[in-house]
Structure 1
């Protein structure tokens, strides 16, 4: 929902600011209060919490605030959360979610407007961040689980990946390495060249608007934690609107913008960066259109999709990308059956790629069923299960189809019961009422006689994509 972790942070709407010292003190207070007031112990799970939760040795997870109560309840149950931090304005959503769980979870709320009072039944976040306790910081090791970021994985319903504090330390060092992705400098290179981030010095502090959501692995790792390491000022946008975005840029005059283009590459399972194009490589024409090279301390290889031996392919041969490195997850939380995502210690990404003679990697498609809508991950299985609960539906399948604005959007193929009819408009409305906006069936609905499947019963999504292409050609 909302996590108060930042470098020097300023709200673009209220103008409320926090210095580095305030963030440090309030994080320590929060960690102590969570332990003393809520009796939380090292290893307990919580939604939000960030810096304070980490200092208390808690395992934190983040939640998208546009989720429905059912989605949030499933997230909280799966992560075994024992506390929740959100905004006053989202108190109703939080209550509806915990009510579905039939479980009382202490909820801290943050006031975002002047004169806003803590809702009845909630705990004041400010009270906890201002409370000085005698609790000492919890001693943690690099192998302790620090975060359970959201991911849909390669198949099935959404799941949490296990992230250790060591992985994030490595990631922050990797992007700042001399050959890394975002090498910090104490000077600015020529405006005619690519931009390099500037570390904070007495007479300058980089300003970066938090356009990316901090519950997303990209925003959390790069925009928040990396900026904290550099001493930058992060300006938060409670909600993205073109007007607020433009106004923030006009007032703050930012130095760097972190955005989500239609094509970028990374995985929650890898914290999330694997590949990047260094500034020094831009002069090489063979990198045009590429995802780049592996970041420091990271190994990748391309293998045949069905090759259990993991034998690497040569240049210009398309295969599945496998990755190995200290930032790669140890596995999915409470999902031992998902161990097949690894092959001899290598993470199988499910993404089809090739590399050219200069070693630059290019993506060609995906093996996995994941649908990516505006950078958000949508698991087809989640929507299919929902659709099958709709009246007169006997079977369903969901695929991602191209969309000019969102990159991909879900499209459903539905099989009605014999002699029955499906009201497509009502089905679309039903799904929309149960899921977040980006999971809705924006790609449309097709009623079909059957879903193509192989001998083992697995949906043949490639056949559905061909069917979609034929439908488009007829239009």
Structure 2
């Protein structure tokens, strides 16, 4: 547990949480002490340490402490249930654990973030740039989440790209109200620390608190995904908050909903900065700050190459033509775990995003469709096969297929088509999924069908299901 020094600290505040504030020196001292604890537990360079934590300052010092020892931090979502955590531990081979979550404590001998931190008895060397630094998770189309491996070198490049794209500096103030276990959360925190900017960390997301903090902390850059933007646009008292300190609001995870963005701008004066990234390559494109556009995710940041290739033959297409977006950069992931998933992610050195879009002659990138299989829910990627695995485990389910339908600013809602072998209710199947998987993976609708359309190879024809049953979630 980090000490609460209140007004006794010296130096600028770089991290705030409630009424607690910390300087970079205090975070480093705490990280050194926690690294000493980890070392005594046997953590060594090259090992992987699982971290499952709520939003709190100790999350930050835990990441820094693991890096002190040349180990890699495996970021587990605090929303995950036991099966998801067990899978993540198995594929990453994490041998040690840190956190405050009972699910992780049940599965491993976990060092609690609530324990006091002793003083460090050693100094620590810089880790090998080529060694793994952080593992985040990105659901694949074949089952449970895959681990995305970033080295110290690749993540450092991503941090530099984000700093330059946002023009983030010591005078900036940001806030993090969503779990930092996802790539954008950890990227925001580390980039701010490297720049000397100030981060306000919230225990949980609450729109009124976020808006009040913009006003009280003079936040200069706000981060938003579609549901947050929609909540802002619909908030009755939005005009009562002074948001004039904002340089812009960054919109990520999904293409901008122009009507929502324009409503917020009209009501507050705040402007938007659309950007595009992925767990596998954290910073891909960003709009120019001087002249952002809502119809594009921007231009590739310096150091990232973008090409668009035909969905039919994989050859580059003409400017403005749709195809799969592919990327090359020093910030690209080192690979997936399990390793078997890595080969299909690259095409002659180009990372295959699975996103469909187009690139015009001036370099503006537009995304026009989702990945072929993935379901995007509030910025999270959900693998249909993961939910199908849970449903197939129910005795009454003979066959099933999961797909997404439009759901406004939330992106998509998850629908399951189910062929049964015994009586079962939609509510029972929804509960089965809810008990096994994170909340954002819940089913919004269950459709009972005679059979699931498949190719002779066994591949589900999700396109057919979407054509037959793909009405928006609110219809």
Q: What's the TM-score once normalised by structure 2's chain length?
A: 0.81
SS in 2 for 1:313: coil
SS in 1 for 2:335: coil
Match of 1:131 in 2: 119
Taking the TM superposition and a 5 Å limit, the aligned residue runs for 1:331-370 are: 331-370=335-374
Alpha-carbon separation, structure 1, partners of 2:145 and 2:351: 18
| Aligned pair partner of 2:288 in 271, 278, 282 | 278
Provide the alpha-carbon RMSD of the alignment.
2.2
Alpha-carbon separation, structure 2, partners of 1:210 and 1:387: 34
Alpha-carbon separation, structure 1, partners of 2:49 and 2:372: 30
2:72 paired with 1:59: yes
| Aligned pair partner of 2:28 in 24, 29, 41 | 24
Any conservation in 1 of the 2:163–2:195 contact (CA below 8 Å)? Answer: no
Report Cα offsets for 1:35-86 as digits up to 9, x if no partner.
1x20111111112331110111111111111111221222222221222222
Match of 1:166 in 2: 153
Any conservation in 2 of the 1:46–1:83 contact (CA below 8 Å)? Answer: yes
Unaligned runs of 5+ in 2: 3-11, 52-61, 228-253, 256-275
Alpha-carbon separation, structure 1, partners of 2:362 and 2:294: 12
Alpha-carbon separation, structure 2, partners of 1:472 and 1:276: 30
Shift of residue 439 of structure 1? 0.4
Q: 1:414 to 1:227 in 2, by over 3 A?
A: same
Alpha-carbon separation, structure 1, partners of 2:125 and 2:120: 16
SS in 2 for 1:133: coil
Shift of residue 405 of structure 1? 4.4
SS in 1 for 2:400: strand
Match of 2:113 in 1: 110
Report Cα offsets for 1:86-130 as digits up to 9, x if no partner.
23xx3x33334x1xxxxxx3312234xxxxxxxxxxxx2x23xx3
Match of 2:183 in 1: 217
Q: 1:74 to 1:337 in 2, by over 3 A?
A: closer
Alpha-carbon separation, structure 1, partners of 2:204 and 2:378: 16
Alpha-carbon separation, structure 1, partners of 2:94 and 2:181: 16
Higher share in strand: 2
Match of 2:233 in 1: none
Any conservation in 1 of the 2:136–2:279 contact (CA below 8 Å)? Answer: yes
SS in 2 for 1:148: strand
SS in 2 for 1:258: strand
Q: What's the TM-score once normalised by structure 1's chain length?
A: 0.81
Any conservation in 1 of the 2:161–2:283 contact (CA below 8 Å)? Answer: no
4+ residue runs over 4 A deviation: none
Taking the TM superposition and a 5 Å limit, the aligned residue runs for 1:77-92 are: 77-87=90-100, 90=101, 92=102
Any conservation in 2 of the 1:212–1:218 contact (CA below 8 Å)? Answer: no
Q: 1:312 to 1:472 in 2, by over 3 A?
A: closer
Match of 2:407 in 1: 403
Match of 1:465 in 2: 466
Match of 2:206 in 1: 241
Any conservation in 1 of the 2:300–2:363 contact (CA below 8 Å)? Answer: no
Alpha-carbon separation, structure 2, partners of 1:366 and 1:242: 27
Shift of residue 404 of structure 1? 2.4
Alpha-carbon separation, structure 1, partners of 2:381 and 2:472: 25
